[in-house]
Amino acid sequence: MKITRLATMLLFTFSLVSCSSYLTSSENVGKTKKSYDKILVLGRSKDNTTRIKFENQMVEQLQANGVNAIASHTIDGTKNVNREFSESEVQNVKKKLVSAGFDGAIITNLINSQEYTDVIPGNSSTTYIPARYGRFGRYYAYYPVTTWEPDQLKTGIKYVLESSLYNIKTDDGDNLQWVGRFELKDPTSLEKTSENYSKELVGALLKQSIDTN
């Protein structure tokens, strides 16, 4: 098994005026909700500053909701993840994590980035203009004046990310418990995006896969 390296750093955000959801799809693979004693949070990034900010935001959100979580950049054995790992290396890391009390892991990867073009439909508006006729000296009729605004094209960069929750304590085949796909457009602010992404991811996990009772 090889862990794919992140091709670009996790620098992403929506415009602050946008109210769209980041989450586009999710699946509770484990079918049930489960409680965890300690969860490792790993955001794969070639840029260490980006990784630290993202992982810290995730940990903060999880702990605020009663979930014990630790950032991977603080743990020996998971500090350097920007290389390919052999199957034996992965199993060795897993054993060390389990020995340290971890039973869950949330891993976030950038799947791809690409240019996008959105078509913003134009609007029409109608104003009724009063008409004055001859000696009446008053406006007694109104006629409509309609204006049309053309469609507009908006282009930018769309980032597709995937976050997965694993039950690393089980040895019964695949241990994937939950997976979610996220789309984010037009990067500008790492701080705000990490915060918003973390809130939405943790919200989805608590609703579908993680039990805090």
106, containing H or E segment = strand 104-120
Question: Which residue is associated with the tokens 């965890």?
Answer: 36
Is 122 within a domain? no
Which whole number is the average pLDDT over 91-100?
A: 91
Is 15 within a domain? no
Q: Does 184 score more than 90 pLDDT?
A: no
The residues that bridge with 176 in the sheet, in sequence order, are 166
The CA-atom distances, in angstroms, between 126 and each of 46, 121, 129, 130 are 53, 17, 10, 13
Is 13 within a domain? no
Domain that holds residue 49: 23-113+157-208
Q: Does 3 score more than 50 pLDDT?
A: no
- If 0-12 CB within 10 Å is exposed, 13-18 middle and 19+ buried, where does residue 41 land? buried
For residues 162 and 182, is the Cβ–Cβ distance under 8 A?
yes
Stated pTM of the model: 0.74
Is 129 within a domain? no
Q: Does 138 score more than 90 pLDDT?
A: no
pLDDT in tens, 65-77: 999 999 999 998 8
pLDDT in tens, 21-30: 889 999 999 9
- Give buried/exposed letters for 62-74 (b at 16+ CB in 10 A, else e): beeeebebbbbbe
pLDDT at 187: 62
Domain count, the chain: 1
User: Domain holding 36: CATH number?
Assistant: 3.40.50
Is 200 within a domain? yes
